[in-house]
Amino acid sequence: MIETALHTHLAAHGAVHADDRGVALPRHFGDADAEYRALREGVATIYDLGFRTLVRATGTDRVSFLQGMLTNDVARLEPGRNRPALLLTIQGRVTADVRVAADGDALLLDVDVRARDAFLAALDKLLIADDVELTVVDVAMIGVTGNLAVTGASRAPRLLGGELGAADAVVHSSPAEAPQLWDAFVEAGARPIGMEALEGRRVELVIPRIGLDMDESTLALELPVDYAISQTKGCYLGQEVVARGTARGHVNRKLVSMTLAGPLPPAGTPLVRDGKEVGRLTTVARAFGAGTGAALGFVRREAWDPGTELAVRHGHAVTIATIAALG
């Protein structure tokens, strides 16, 4: 299991860790409900982003190469800003999500550590005569929300737009300096939060996560990721499939949010309507604000209207999932 640069430091300061698909991450710091409220109410919060990693792209062809690979326009990035994008297969399915930032003579590619190898392998196959070098960076990353996401509490490199979109920022540091940086944010008023609060809010905002809600079986058009796909740039890997599906105007299934009434089922549980399977759960979390469970999942078009109730059968328990726009 991967331990983040902050693991030992946070464990000594009350973090309760758990295995998150091969990465040991804080679940909470003693009170997940209070952490969620702080996050939802705009109070300054911080969280361990050790499940993300950086790839540095250098070389004279770095911009043109990545402009032709990724779904978003990365050719005109401003320093200090990043832009979300996807790397697709030629069939328009998702290999990885990525946040791209300009950094002098390089582009920084922020990807989930669990998708990094597939991301690099896909790009390496397409590097033929291009002057591009892809290097994994040894870096620690911290997520920051609230007023500190705008003003910052240090001089560490900061990129606006993180796990929850424009409302937060990603701060970089060396692994050795990460504990000191974390403490500086806490002293400036930031509240530490764990993955329970972060995932609850992510589900409410319907933000898909690679490896849970999207992978190489998922079409980009089935996801609420318009913010990561440019409609005006030129060709990119998988663009023909995206353009064809956009012109057709519909997909057969899409990722939606749901509230859950009953015992929380595991991810992957089928969704049933009138005895017929119409979808499957991908992420299950607590809907702290609603006092229930919440989930993301793929649902077929005949069952995705808001208010539709679906049965979630897991073992002998029956949970009711209601299609809902959370937030």
Residue range 83-107: mean pLDDT, rounded: 94
CATH classification for the domain delimited by 1-251, as one of 3.30.420.40, 3.30.1360.120, 1.10.3720.10, 3.90.1150.10 = 3.30.1360.120
Q: Measured in Å, how far apart are the chain's first and last C-alpha atoms?
A: 33
Higher-confidence position of 17 and 263: 17
Nearest to 56 by CA among 94, 110, 112, 130: 110
- What does the pLDDT look like over 237-255, one tens digit per residue? 999 998 888 878 778 899 9
pLDDT band at 82 (very low <50, low <70, confident <90, very high): confident
Q: List the domain boundaries for the chain.
A: 1-251, 252-327
- What does the pLDDT look like over 287-297, one tens digit per residue? 887 778 999 99
pLDDT band at 8 (very low <50, low <70, confident <90, very high): very high
Q: What is the DSSP letter of 263?
A: S
In this prediction, residue 292 carries a pLDDT of 84
- What does the pLDDT look like over 160-174, one tens digit per residue? 778 887 668 899 999
In this prediction, residue 42 carries a pLDDT of 85
C-alpha dihedral sign at 33, 34, 40, 46:
negative
In this prediction, residue 297 carries a pLDDT of 97
Domain 252-327: CATH class, spelled out: mainly beta
Residue for token pair 């922020």: 110
Looking only at Cα atoms, what is the longest distance across the chain? 60
In this prediction, residue 153 carries a pLDDT of 57
In this prediction, residue 326 carries a pLDDT of 55
Instruction: Assess whether pLDDT exceeds 80 at residue 277.
Output: yes
d(CA 127, CA 85): 19
Q: What share of the chain has pLDDT > 70, as a percent?
A: 96
Residue range 188-196: mean pLDDT, rounded: 94
d(CA 263, CA 150): 39
pTM equals 0.91
In this prediction, residue 76 carries a pLDDT of 85
In this prediction, residue 229 carries a pLDDT of 94
d(CA 249, CA 278): 20
Nearest to 97 by CA among 114, 85, 109, 82: 85
Instruction: Assess whether pLDDT exceeds 70 at residue 152.
Output: no
Q: Where is average pLDDT lowest: 17-21, 109-113, 145-149, 300-304?
A: 145-149
Cα 321 to Cα 294, 313, 325, distances in angstroms = 8, 10, 12
Instruction: Assess whether pLDDT exceeds 70 at residue 156.
Output: no
Residue for token pair 């077929």: 300
User: What would the two tokens of residue 173 be?
Assistant: 């540091």
**Average confidence score pLDDT of the chain:** 91
> For residues 190-220, b (16+ Cβ closer than 10 Å) or e, as one string?
bbbbbbbbbbbbbbbebbbbbbbbbeeebbb
d(CA 313, CA 317): 6
